[in-house]
Amino acid sequence: MASHGARGRGGGRPTLEEVAARAGVGRGTVSRVINGSPRVSDATRAAVEAAVAELGYVPNTAARALAANRTDAIALVVPEPETRFFAEPYFSDMLRGVGAELSDTEMQLLLIFAGSDRERRRLAQYLAAHRVDGVLLVSVHADDPLPDLLSQLEIPAVISGRRSADETLPSVDSDNYGGGRAAVEHLMARGRRKVVHLAGRLDVYGAQRRVDGYRQALLDAGREVDDRLIVPGDFTENGGRRAMTLLLERCPDLDAVFAGSDVMAAGARQVLREAGRRIPDDVALVGYDDSAIARHMDPPLTSVRQPIEEMGRTMIDLLLGEIADRRPAVSRGLEKRQLVLPAELVVRASS
């Protein structure tokens, strides 16, 4: 005459034990049903599921984490201040891909910013406490200590892009080389004779690869590569302006510019306008990233699109694999752990 129906007395949540009692089975059996083990007869499974439904049972995550030594959570770590995170579509696209791929899973996603030193210290503490099963690291700089910290703590991790040609961590990159090639081949196919390259920061691996693509496209077409026509910007609008100015000086008869980012292309466009060059009539312009800037530029900018959302999805796949691999003490050896996804040229009016 005390309690009544669903959940026992005291407002506490039902436990495995209570479900077991209700279903007339043992604790182990309920656990097996909850975790989808095949070693349960259909009749028993049905009985347990009924009891779960009646009691409104929800597993206690903390207890599970303690007993099984896993958290069912992964972190998306953004080593940038929040402002950049909100400003750049890169991150929201990535987040969408990650979220989509994760929604089929029981895994929980945590978003962690590590822009300031203080935040980084917190993060280190957090990782040391093993509060996540794995980490997704986006936008890593070549000298970032985070990747090393992660492997030292033996926490599964996947990075977007890569730090160098011989990246050791599992990674998902886009084909910067192919993207660069495609941009330049497109410009040549449009009949452009003098294609110059406004490069990104050359200490960023991806930017370097775009340069390689630029080079190879010219060579394959039997043209010469003039290193003086490859001028690095710093990924900013101002850098794009400076580099473009230099390029115009060095090569007044250029008729095509391949820029390593849309933002730099925007800077270049201003300089070209001021120099009286019409786009695309006098000079064709191609950017990189296919960001909002590209679509809203006047004229709309041809740009190389990276499949960021898909990269996010792929990173999750890789990471879940890494996590699964580490559960039994067998490492199934190194499979494909560095993936490269294709980039795609989006042609608009600027070329």
Q: Which residues bind DNA (CB under 7 A)?
A: 12-13, 15-17, 24-29, 31-32, 34-35, 38-41, 43-45, 57, 59-60, 63-64, 66-68
Shortest approach of its own copies to residue 138 CB, angstroms?
Answer: 15
**Which of these, 174, 172, 135, 133, lies nearest to 337 by C-alpha position?**
172
Shortest approach of its own copies to residue 268 CB, angstroms?
Answer: 23
Phi and psi, residue 112, nearest 5°: -125, 125
What residue type is assigned to position 95 of the chain?
L
Choice between 114 and 140, CB closer to its own copies: 114
Task: Give residues with Cβ within 8 angstroms of 80, minimum separation 6.
Answer: 113, 114, 115, 139
User: What would the x/- binding string for its own copies be over residues 53 to 82, using CB under 8 A?
Assistant: ---x-xxxxxx-xx----x----------x
Pairing of the two strands 108-113 and 157-160: unpaired
What residue type is assigned to position 263 of the chain?
V
Structure tokens belonging to residue 52? 């779960």
Choice between 113 and 288, CB closer to its own copies: 113
What residue type is assigned to position 348 of the chain?
R
**Which of DNA, its own copies, none does residue 26 bind (CB under 5 to 8 Å by kind)?**
DNA
Site size toward its own copies (CB under 8 A) is: 35
Asked if 261 contacts 201 with a C-beta cutoff of 8 angstroms, the reply is no
Distance CA 293, CA 199 (A): 18
Strand arrangement, sheet containing 302-305: 230-232, 195-199, 256-259, 284-288, 302-305, 344-346
Q: Please name the helix (run of DSSP H) or strand (run of DSSP E) that holds residue 30, with its range, or none.
A: helix 27-34
- Considering only residues 197 to 256 of the shown chain, the ones binding its own copies according to CB under 8 A are none
Choice between 44 and 108, CB closer to its own copies: 108
Asked if 114 contacts 139 with a C-beta cutoff of 8 angstroms, the reply is no
**Which of DNA, its own copies, none does residue 92 bind (CB under 5 to 8 Å by kind)?**
its own copies
Angle between helix axes 176-189 and 205-220 (nearest 10 degrees) is 40
Choice between 62 and 165, CB closer to its own copies: 62
- Considering only residues 86 to 145 of the shown chain, the ones binding its own copies according to CB under 8 A are 86, 89, 92, 95-96, 99, 103, 108, 110-111, 113, 118-119, 122, 125-126, 128-131
**Which of its own copies, DNA, none does residue 43 bind (CB under 5 to 8 Å by kind)?**
DNA
Burial class (CB within 10 angstroms; exposed 0-12, middle 13-18, buried 19+) of 60: middle
User: What would the x/- binding string for its own copies be over residues 153 to 192, using CB under 8 A?
Assistant: -x--------------------------------------
Task: Name the residues that contact its own copies, by CB under 8 A.
Answer: 11, 13, 56, 58-63, 65-66, 71, 82-83, 86, 89, 92, 95-96, 99, 103, 108, 110-111, 113, 118-119, 122, 125-126, 128-131, 154
